[in-house]
Structure 1
């Protein structure tokens, strides 16, 4: 069992579909190429290798998504250590059935 500081809260893509109806901070940590091939409308591309440079609000939840949920979990742990309230998206884009857009 993990200690309190090792666990990152997570939600399903179904729950995310409800939450994106409101204003949320959603980071897509896939590569720029993957992001351009299709991403969630409100998602900002911050590739995993650049996640350390992310500067956002420490008072608002940050949602993190990747292709399957592995990279987003890594990114979430990094952000959590920096003091962010992070929520990982289980299943990632491979399970997302909502609208996506291509390009930047």
Structure 2
């Protein structure tokens, strides 16, 4: 019985660590660094918030592809170009970045703090 308890604890720890560890190959930048990337031609900017959130406040460079549609719309993006993702706080965009990496995108960047940190 004691071995089973330890096994459950170890599995739980592995799951928690895996959830909070950054995904390999995903960069994180702040909003100033994101603004600096606006000049680059080989960068795609994606806002993964809902259409309502996007309509209320967004940056013009960002295309709205809501997180719940992202996996089915990656064909609209160029895998050879960097993809920078944003949401309201950085949580959904981090999830979006993981989706993009799993679908074969090489250079994926998440904006820390999201639109809440945008000035």
Q: Any idea what SS the aligned residue of 1:67 has? A: coil
Instruction: Give, in whole Å, the separation in 1 of the partners of 2:88 and 2:118.
Output: 9
Q: Which has the higher helix share?
A: 2
Shift of 1:58: 1.0
TM-superposed CA distance for 1:44, in Å, is: 0.3
Partner residue in 1 for 2:60: 41
Greater Cα radius of gyration, structure 1 or 2: 2
Structure 1 residues 73-82 or 53-62, which shifts more? 53-62
Deviation at 1:6, TM superposition (A): 2.3
Question: Could you tell me the TM-score, scaled by structure 1's length?
Answer: 0.85
Q: 1:1-104 to 2 correspondence within 5 Å?
A: 6-7=23-24, 8-23=26-41, 24-53=43-72, 54-55=74-75, 56-84=77-105, 85-97=107-119
Deviation digits for residues 41-75 of structure 1 (CA, Å, limit 9, x no counterpart): 11000000001022211111000000000000000
CA distance in 1, matches of 2:28, 2:84: 9
For residues 73 and 81 of structure 1, the distance between their equivalents in structure 2, rounded to whole angstroms, comes to 13
Structure 2-normalised TM-score? 0.74
